[in-house]
Structure 1
Amino acid sequence: MDMKKRINLELRNRAPEEVTQLVLDNCHCVNGEIEGLNDTFKKLEFLSMANVELSSLARLPNLNKLRKLELSDNIISGGLEVLAEKCPNLTHLNLSGNKIKDLTAVEALMEMKMMKRKLVHLKDMRKRKRKKMMRMKMKMKPAQNWEREKKK
């Protein structure tokens, strides 16, 4: 089933303006692009497009209320800067199983609110780990000295 038909099926006689969740998993998108999804989905908070052979997010509409986006198991390798522009309130993003080879493809997301929060959290965790490692080294040093003296 193609993406347009799946969207019509998922609407279940509702107007696109009323929909808050949309699951399009395992449908087929033509030429690796989003089709049938447009700016009329103003209240959309959750969108799942897992395993739809998506390679580009260029045709993603403005989804200002979108908080969770599931894009796992597609063939996306870049072009993620669109997310920062079109989905400013995104808090959860799953890109697992895509063809992203290095972190440069994800750099555009660092300006988003959700990524800034996560980045600050990661920095705090690293500081705590460093302090813990230093404490462990300090404890190990006397034991290492004792072993050296024992060998002499």
Structure 2
Amino acid sequence: GVKDYKLTYYTPEYETKDTDILAAFRVTPQPGVPPEEAGAAVAAESSTGTWTTVWTDGLTSLDRYKGRCYGIEPVPGEESQFIAYVAYPLDLFEEGSVTNMFTSIVGNVFGFKALRALRLEDLRIPVAYVKTFDGPPHGIQVERDKLNK
């Protein structure tokens, strides 16, 4: 069956923060799955949805780490497709790791039951997170030289 994520992860009243990583996913829910539930499922599965059965409330605060689906819009001209807007707190991610960020956001969500199809359409990475990246290990000029730029 499909887990019920809407109560915890669908938060249309949430106001995004300058430090949130914001993602826009194109979702096609399975027949009978409301778009809000599909968006909430994406937020859950790409953040803390798999933690809740393992961790107890005494170990960590779900609210501090969870992704939140804060908006759903129909895709014009595409029946049964929606854009789900998801905000992720920076605390969810390892600093300076593109691999960790993408593994968290897209690595865990592309094969679960609530959706027929899913695509990451857009991603906003806040300045606070960008500043955690050191850049190329040998400097930008070395990289440009390798690429003949």
**TM-score normalised to the size of structure 2?**
0.30
Instruction: Name the structure where strand makes up a greater proportion of residues.
Output: 2
Which structure exhibits the higher relative contact order, with contacts defined as CA atoms closer than 8 Å and separated by 6 or more residues? 2
Instruction: Name the structure where helix makes up a greater proportion of residues.
Output: 1
**TM-score normalised to the size of structure 1?**
0.30
